[in-house]
């Protein structure tokens, strides 16, 4: 009996240090945010060190604002959907291309691709802002030279759709190398016999991709999709650092930026924490639904 109990407890004892560290680094801050979201906590409470418990009033305030449903939530969900699809699609195409290269060129090209992922989001955002600068941007000058626009007359960051178009290019450019390298690693493990059998059966490149590559790499596609979804739903720097994204243009806020503005620009920390908790719940819900769908397909 004692030996059986020890075998049962041994894995938990080995995991205990990691679980304790995760509790300190993740569970404790998350718990503090949830507790803060239940308070009317502003600069007065911060200076006095007091609390003002209001229950779920902050959540009611957020959920009953038309601004959430007409601007912030569509921005968050729509932007994430576009960038996740773009990131996974571009990363997969690059991986398929890299897999066709000789080994030496594959390593060289993979290293070059990873440079985009190594560039900090802040640096990458300023590069894209420079490219689309209304007066001196490279894209602006190029389109002006082609006669598409009048140079200096178009500010790409004032209009909601063009703003998010630039932000989407930024996010996809920064995120596709991770997908490319991850999918490439999976492609190199696919048995060549499967492709040879598909060719004998008369399958073309498109058919081989959907009938051989996708089913074999489904777990990898699930991982990169979930990670990209989490990253793109909580995008902050790529929105906040663009002109208008830091508070002057409320048409381009997503949940992350709105939470920051409420907390640190307006001093309504409780309300900002409530928005952050709602964003976390949204991400958890999406992840659970996606995983359950994936497991159901595997059972079938």
pLDDT digits (tens, 9 = 90+) for 221-276: 888 888 898 889 889 999 999 988 888 888 999 999 999 999 888 888 889 999 99
At residue 63, the pLDDT reads 93
The reply to whether 260 falls in a domain is yes
Residue 238's CATH number: 1.10.3720.10
The reply to whether 120 falls in a domain is yes
The reply to whether 63 falls in a domain is yes
Q: Which residue has the higher pLDDT, 198 or 235?
A: 235
Q: Which residue has the higher pLDDT, 277 or 139?
A: 277
At residue 87, the pLDDT reads 95
pLDDT at 135 over 70: yes
Using a pLDDT cut of 90, give the percent of the chain over it: 32
At residue 28, the pLDDT reads 83
pLDDT at 170 over 90: yes
pLDDT level of residue 142 (50, 70, 90 thresholds):
confident
The reply to whether 185 falls in a domain is yes
Mean pLDDT of 109-126: 86
The reply to whether 200 falls in a domain is yes
At residue 295, the pLDDT reads 67
The reply to whether 293 falls in a domain is yes
pTM score of the predicted model: 0.85
pLDDT at 18 over 90: no
Mean pLDDT of 158-172: 93
pLDDT at 97 over 80: yes
Q: Give the SS3 label for residue 53.
A: strand
Mean pLDDT of 184-200: 83
- Total structural domains in the chain? 1
pLDDT at 297 over 60: no
The reply to whether 88 falls in a domain is yes
d(CA 255, CA 279): 7
pLDDT level of residue 168 (50, 70, 90 thresholds):
very high
Q: Label residues 195-229 b or e (16+ Cβ within 10 Å = b).
A: beebeeeebeeeebbeebbeeebeebbbebbbbbb
- pLDDT, the chain, mean: 85
Sign of CA dihedral 72, 77, 81, 83: positive
Mean pLDDT of 72-83: 94
pLDDT level of residue 300 (50, 70, 90 thresholds):
very low
Whether residue 116 contacts residue 177, with contact meaning beta carbons closer than 8 Å, is answered with: yes
Whether residue 48 contacts residue 273, with contact meaning beta carbons closer than 8 Å, is answered with: no
At residue 296, the pLDDT reads 63
Which residue segment(s) compose the domain that 99 sits in? 58-299
Using a pLDDT cut of 70, give the percent of the chain over it: 96
pLDDT level of residue 4 (50, 70, 90 thresholds):
low
H helical segments located in the chain: 2-22, 28-37, 43-48, 57-63, 66-67, 73-99, 103-118, 121-131, 138-145, 160-187, 192-200, 205-208, 214-216, 218-233, 237-240, 255-260, 269-299
The reply to whether 24 falls in a domain is no
């Amino acid at each position: 009996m004692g030996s059986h109990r020890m075998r049962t407890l041994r894995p938990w004892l080995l995991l205990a240090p990691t679980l304790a560290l995760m509790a300190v680094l993740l569970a404790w801050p998350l718990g503090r945010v949830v507790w803060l979201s239940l308070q009317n906590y502003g600069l007065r409470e911060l200076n006095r060190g007091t609390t003002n418990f209001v229950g779920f009033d902050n959540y009611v305030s957020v959920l009953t604002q038309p601004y959430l449903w007409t601007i912030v939530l569509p921005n968050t969900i729509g932007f994430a959907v576009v960038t996740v699809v773009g990131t996974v699609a571009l990363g997969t195409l690059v991986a398929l291309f890299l897999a066709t290269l000789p080994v030496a060129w594959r390593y060289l090209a993979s290293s070059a691709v990873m440079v985009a992922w190594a560039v900090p989001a802040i640096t990458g955002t300023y590069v894209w802002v420079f490219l689309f600068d209304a007066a001196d941007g490279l894209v602006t000058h190029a389109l002006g030279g082609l006669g598409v626009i009048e140079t200096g007359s178009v500010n790409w960051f004032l209009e909601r759709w063009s703003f998010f178009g630039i932000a989407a290019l930024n996010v996809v450019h920064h995120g596709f190398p991770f997908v490319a390298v991850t999918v490439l690693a999976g492609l190199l493990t696919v048995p060549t016999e499967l492709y040879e059998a598909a060719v004998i059966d008369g399958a073309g490149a498109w058919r081989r991709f959907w009938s051989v590559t996708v089913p074999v790499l489904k777990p990898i596609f699930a991982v990169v999709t979930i990670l990209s979804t989490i990253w793109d739903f909580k995008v902050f720097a790529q929105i906040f650092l663009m002109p208008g994204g830091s508070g002057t243009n409320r048409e381009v806020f997503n949940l992350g930026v709105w939470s920051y503005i409420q907390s640190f620009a307006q001093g309504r920390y409780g309300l900002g924490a409530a928005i952050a908790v709602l964003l976390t719940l949204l991400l958890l819900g999406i992840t659970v639904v996606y995983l359950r769908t994936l497991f159901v397909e595997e059972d079938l």
